[in-house]
Chains A and B, each alone.
Chain A
Amino acid sequence: MKDVLKDFRDVSGEHLDRLTAKGVSRRNFLKFCTGMAIAMGLPAGMGSQIAEAVATQKRPPVLWLSAQECTGCTESLLRANHPTLEKLILELISLEYHETLLVGSGKQAEEWREKSMRENKGKYILVVDGSIPVKDNGIYCKIGGKTAMSLLVEMAADAAAVIAIGSCSSWGGVPSADPNPTGASPAHEVLKNKGIKTPVVNIPGCPPNPYNFLSTVLYFVTFKKLPELDEKSRPKFAYGRIIHENCERRPHFDAGRFALQFGDEGHRKGYCLYKLGCKGPETFANCPVQLFNDVGSGAWPVGTGHPCFGCTEKGVGFTVPLHSPARPKYITPPSLFTEVFPGKEGVSPGTKAMAAGVAGAAIGAAGAALVSGLGKKDDVTKDKGE
């Protein structure tokens, strides 16, 4: 705690006053920033840097575009409580445009969006939730008379970065499920096809963990760049490992203990859900670590007894049957397995020692026999003479 306070004092007085004036207690604010730093895999000391960035700069403008979505991502964000949503949108970021949360509506809202885009050109963060229908020129989703596709292109072109939140905008999600009548496409694909170079971060999940989103935003605000991404443009701090690796039920998998049916003995005992179709072994996400809703352990699908269905993974969630077994694609062999054939060179020490002992005894006996036997001559003649 001392360290935290020390970090806190590093933030200059002026900023502290500003924060305090806004009703954010010093302690809670720094705790939040440190928490975010840790979630991103940064040193805890980075908390103060984040705090400073958030406190000193103008709140980063964020525009939120919703396309073919269910508002689950927003709902998930509403459940975050460190910070709570009002803290987020009133103090940490400047949420300029969000269809669900906007006070104004209709023409007023659209005008505000355009004004904000003009004023913050090249500086704002564009958040997209929902997939973008591209079939028939995108007529299946329109806002204020404009297709989602054209809105995305227009808004992304002037954005500093695009954050695609949720499975739908990250890889298509549920609207893209077969037969995909609207041609639902992820945001990055639409932008790529239109030749827009703005960097895109995908935060997949149905819904995604709000802290993965918040951490990404804060990282961008603090360091003026995007966090390290994997080949599917997901932040590595959140999507670097498969669920299976950190799963609380992993010991059961390693011990071969499986639930075979919902409600059977194994299921009630909390055994591994692999055989019920858990997609943990092929899904990259930090669900078992971050959990949901800040209510402690067990608050995630596998924790409640339902197999993971692979929402963060293109080609898994909404694509393969819910209860068909996963195709583990990334199993790092745990150290619990015995090496099959150590193939060690040479002879083990015990056997070697034994051989050395035997060889020593043999050489000793032979040497002694030779020395005593070939040296003396006398009693030979004596024996012969007798």
Chain B
Amino acid sequence: MNNKEIKMMTPMTIFLIAVMAAGGVVAIYRLIFGLGASTNLNDIWPWGFWIGFDVLGGVAMAAGGFVIAGTVYILNWKKYKPIVRPAILNAFFGYALAATSIFFDIGQSFRIWHPMVMWQVNSIMFIVAIHVVLYTTTLAVEASPMILEKLRMTGAYRFVNKIMAPIVLFGVLLSTLHQSSLGAVYLIIPSKLSPLWYSSRLPYLFLVSAVMLALSMVSFETILSSRIFRHKVPFDVITGLAKGSLVVAALYFVLKVWDLASGPGIGAAFTGGFSANMYLLEMVVGVVMPLILLSMAKFRTALNSIFAVNILVIVGIVLNRLNVGIFGLAEYAGRLGADYFPSLMELILTAAMIAFAFFGFKVSAKYLNLFPGTEH
């Protein structure tokens, strides 16, 4: 099975490979010369772009895997079966990249296995580490039918398909815990994180927003790949996802407003300060505008507007992760006179991660049956 319509040696592919090569150089430089030489991190900014964007953002964008897999295999909502494979593949890439980023972000990269054997159950970071490993493994199993099919290993293919439901259930469990635990990471810094984002409900907010992002991400991917790889869009799937997005966005909006009101107060978002503006931007782009657009049937049922809303949600929720991971700490760090702007190497490595995801997805689309049930 080789999708003839997908050409490999396009200028875009060459560009992606070039970015990945640059990322490879940076990665080697980072391992040899250390964090100080390659990043702009410092003692007040121990975590930067790699954690804020690659890990928090990447994992959130990978939420599609568990949401769609759960929908198809646990809720048995077979309508969404055509998009389960790209969703799982996307999640796998997301997690693999988050894990790779963590590998380069931690100071002792080759001790990344330590949490597996040196348990410290009080630590959210331990919980996160365990889940990354377990869930990435689970995703690999979930994605394996695509490979097994390609390799014509029928026996194994049948076996994996048979146990798919329990595996997906395990994946849903791990993902729920992992998405929420990323929010829980920040529970320990009430004195540092801006009250606009700090809340005892951070795990719930992370989970709900991840689900919201998952729906938009899968929808976005489906529409985009249908355009790039020229296959028919399963239209009812897209509108179904949009409907789901509306419900989750409404829930998330209520949660966020309630959280703000019970925390620093609604007024805190309208002070015009740095944090308040970042908060407003995140809310308007990622929640309010999608909610308004999706609530109108006209936009909810049109492919182009759904695509636009998807972009808004992706941008808004990733912005939320950056806000929690970076900009929410800016006022605290500013008081101490500490500054942070990602170094060129940090940006290159992140770009290489994204390029790898696109490239990997494209290769998968070409050589694997990524969209079963859709016509080419």
Contacts and interface: CB of A to CB of B under 8 A. Distances in A.
Asked whether the complex places CB atoms of A and B closer than 8 A, the reply is yes
A349 B341 CA distance: 9
A342 interface: yes
A373 interface: yes
A372 B304 contact: yes
Contact of B342 (A344, A354, A365, A366): A354
A9 B106 CA distance: 78
A366 B330 CA distance: 24
B339 A355 contact: no
Nearest to B273: A346
Contact of A373 (B274, B305, B326): B305
Q: Which of B233, B274, B303, B336 gathers the greatest number of chain A CB atoms within 10 Å? A: B303
A363 B235 contact: no
A350 B289 contact: no
A348 B280 CA distance: 20
A383 interface: yes
B255 to A, nearest CB: 21
Contact of A363 (B285, B309, B322, B330): B285
Contacts of B40: 350
Contacts of A375: 304
A362 B338 CA distance: 25
B302 interface: yes
Contacts of B267: none
B348 to A, nearest CB: 15
A329 interface: no
Nearest to A343: B335
A355 B340 contact: no
Contact of A377 (B289, B304, B336, B338): B304
Given A350-B340, A351-B330, A366-B312, A344 B304 contact: no
Contacts of B336: 341-342, 344
Contacts of A349: 339
A90 interface: no
A14 interface: no
A379 to B, nearest CB: 7
Interface string B67-93: 000000000000000000000000000
A370 interface: yes
A377 B302 contact: yes
A348 B307 contact: no
A103 interface: no
Nearest to B53: A358
A379 B303 contact: yes
A14 to B, nearest CB: 66
A348 B339 contact: yes
Contact of B281 (A346, A363, A373): A363
B312 A370 contact: yes
Given A348-B337, A369-B312, A374 B235 contact: no
A352 interface: yes
A123 B253 CA distance: 92
Contacts of B342: 354
Interface in A334-386: 341-355, 358-359, 362-363, 365-366, 368-370, 372-377, 379-380, 383-384, 386
Contacts of B302: 377, 380
Contacts of B206: none
A353 B341 contact: yes
B140 interface: no
Given A369-B307, A380-B302, A384-B235, A346 B334 contact: yes
A356 to B, nearest CB: 10
B285 A366 contact: yes
A131 B233 CA distance: 108
Contacts of A365: 311, 315
B319 A372 contact: no
Given A351-B334, A377-B304, A380-B304, A366 B311 contact: yes
Contacts of A377: 302, 304
Interface size bracket, A side = 35 or more
A374 B309 CA distance: 9
Contacts of A352: 274, 330
Contacts of B334: 344-348, 351
Residue among B278, B301, B308 facing the most chain A CB atoms (10 A cut-off): B308
Nearest to B49: A354
Nearest to A353: B341
B307 A373 contact: yes
Contacts of B235: 383-384
A379 B327 contact: no
Given A372-B304, A374-B299, A383-B235, A358 B309 contact: no
B315 A355 contact: no
A384 to B, nearest CB: 6
B281 A359 contact: yes
A363 B285 CA distance: 8
Contacts of B289: 366, 370
A375 B305 CA distance: 8
A362 B285 contact: yes
A367 to B, nearest CB: 10
B331 interface: yes
A85 to B, nearest CB: 59
Given A349-B339, A351-B333, A362-B315, A370 B232 contact: no
Contacts of A347: 274, 330-331, 333-334
B339 A362 contact: no
A81 B289 CA distance: 90
Nearest to B281: A359
B337 A374 contact: no
A372 B309 CA distance: 11
A376 B308 CA distance: 11
B340 A346 contact: no
Contacts of B304: 372-377, 379-380
A47 to B, nearest CB: 48
A351 B330 CA distance: 7
A371 B277 CA distance: 23
Interface in A126-145: none
Given A369-B312, A377-B302, A348 B338 contact: yes
A371 to B, nearest CB: 8
Given A366-B311, A377-B302, A351 B341 contact: yes
Nearest to B275: A347
B295 to A, nearest CB: 14
A269 B303 CA distance: 82
A312 B45 CA distance: 51
Given A348-B333, A351-B330, A380-B304, 5 more contacts: A348-B340, A358-B322, A362-B281, A365-B315, A369-B308
Which A-B residue pairs are the 8 nearest by beta carbons?
A373-B308, A350-B341, A369-B311, A348-B339, A350-B339, A369-B308, A347-B334, A380-B302
18 contacts: A344-B335, A344-B337, A348-B333, A348-B334, A348-B339, A354-B340, A355-B278, A358-B319, A362-B285, A363-B281, A368-B311, A369-B312, A370-B312, A372-B304, A373-B304, A373-B308, A379-B304, A386-B232
